[in-house]
Structures are given as structure tokens and as C-alpha cells.
A = this chain, B = another copy of it.
Amino acid sequence: MSARYHVFIVSDATGLSAETAARAALAQFDLDRRDTQLHRHVGLTSTADLPGIVREAKAKGGVILHTLATADWSKRLSTLAQEHHVRTLDLLGLTVQVFSEAFGVTPRETPSPHHRLDAAYFQRIEAMEWTVRHDDGRAQDHLIEADIVLIGVSRVSKTPLCIYLANRGCKAANVPLVPGVPVGEQIFTLPRGRVFGLTIDAQVLLEIRRNRVKQLGGSGGEYASPAAVQAELAYAEDIFRRGRFPVIDVTGRAVEETAAEIERVLERRAGRARR
């Protein structure tokens, strides 16, 4: 089966912002994911590919989202697309124009240092490495170094959340909560606002664990029993209460959404601290 809706991402850099915009916009339509296809033409180093891309977009009835920083390329693509009646959106150009007008600054019009290898970049790389080294409770002795510590029972998406946060430059550690295994007292001594409790609907967690067990070809036992799940969640709640940690319910939430919620809590607190 071939897709019906084609989006062409064209960029002289990584194309990441056009891709992110495309995904957000596509989520606004009731389309089957298999019906949509992204075609990435990124890292372009000349305009030689543009005519072919426009022709393909035309043939597929597709749309072109582009982020071409190079002065004339964006114009060239728009002209070509117009000739072929292909719809385009110059995402970078529009955003740059608004900034330029509002701030009274002139853009450089070259794709060069899209991602600057500056202190902030290396801090982000450091956060990624730190996070991997400290996954799943392995950070117990280094929790004080973490920007964020996530705690919760098994299968509340602690690890994927850490990876997502690390990718955004945050040293994220996670500590599993298991009844009968004492949680390190250090967790209660960390600066306020650094620890977040993750919780989830018991029925949903049960479902997730049953699927997990099936995947691994096991029988489940305690791990995927209603009584155990209830007990574990209650145990976690106790820890959250004792530490007075903010609690986030991840039920039905994607990691992006949970991460946004965590960042929102942090920003609210930073806002209050500034006042």
C-alpha cells in the first residue's frame, strides 16, 4: 500500500524544524499514519536537487515544507513550485522575517552554524552521557549531580522520559520504586523541586505489564497481578507523600507531554523564585 498524503521536507540544514512542524500539523487531521509519508531531502549543498524534488512532489500531489537558509535557494524553490502548482511553506523564512522585524536585526542568510558547538551544546552532550550512565537506579551515589530525578514503579516510562529529557540537555536520573527494596534516604535530602513522582492508572499499568510479559514470553506471576500492581502503586504514593514530591500521572500521556508538564512545573517554580 502506498501513502496518499505526501509531505516533502527540504532543508540545507537538518530539516528538524520542518519535520517537527509537519508532524504537529499532520496530527491535526484524522489521517491514518500509514496514509501519510514524509520525504526528507535535507543537508542540500546545491540547488541541483530542487527541480527533481518539485517534480516528485507534483507527481504525488504533495506539499513542500522548507527551511532553506541560503538567500536565493528559497526563492528558487518557490518559483519552481509555483510553475508546477505545488504548494509550499517557507517555515524558516517566515520565522526569520518576524524576528528580523521585531528585533531590528539582519539574518545571515547562510545555513552555516545551525547548531553551534558552544558551551550549551557540550553541556547537552554531557547530559546525554550522564543520563545513560545513570539509568535505572545506577545513579544512587550521584543523585546530587542530577537536574531531575524521576521515581516510580516499573513501567511508568522512567527510562524513555530520561532519554527525552537528556536529549533536551537535562541530566535525568531515575530510581525504581520496589516494595521491600528500601529507597535510598538521599532522595529525601535533594534540593526541593528536583524529584518528580510518576504514577499511572492501576488498570492501565496492569495492561502494559501483561503485554510486556507476553512479549518476553513469560507467564507474569506477581509482576502482572492486580494485587501486586495495587500494592506497588500504594507504596510509591507513600514515598511521594513522605518526600512531598510533585506527582505526575502518565496515564495516556506521551513522553513529550509528560516532559512538557515537568518543565512547566520547573518554570513555574523558577518564576516564583524570581519574584
Footprint of B on A, CB under 8 Å? 4-5, 7, 13-17, 20-31, 33, 40, 42-43, 61-63, 65, 67, 69, 87-89, 91-92, 94-96, 98-103, 105-109, 113-118, 120-121, 124-125, 128-129, 131-132, 135-136, 157, 159-160, 162-164, 166-167, 252, 254-257, 259-261, 263-264, 267
Contact = CB atoms under 8 A, between A and B. Distances in A.
9 contacts: A4-B103, A14-B257, A20-B20, A21-B95, A27-B115, A42-B264, A61-B103, A128-B159, A128-B164
A26 B96 CA distance: 7
A210 to B, nearest CB: 14
Instruction: Tell me how many chains of this kind the complex includes.
Output: 2
Nearest to A255: B125
A115 B98 CA distance: 28
Contact of A28 (B61, B92, B167, B260): B92
Contact of A108 (B29, B124, B261): B29
A259 B115 CA distance: 13
A17 B163 CA distance: 19
A28 B89 contact: no
Given A129-B159, A132-B132, A163-B131, A98 B105 contact: no
A98 to B, nearest CB: 5
Q: Which 4 A-B pairs have the closest CB atoms?
A: A115-B254, A25-B95, A14-B260, A17-B24
B16 A24 contact: yes
A66 to B, nearest CB: 11
B91 A87 contact: no
Contacts of A267: 40
Contact of A21 (B17, B109, B167, B257): B17
Nearest to A114: B27
Given A4-B103, A24-B95, A114-B254, 6 more contacts: A5-B103, A24-B67, A28-B107, A28-B108, A89-B94, A94-B94
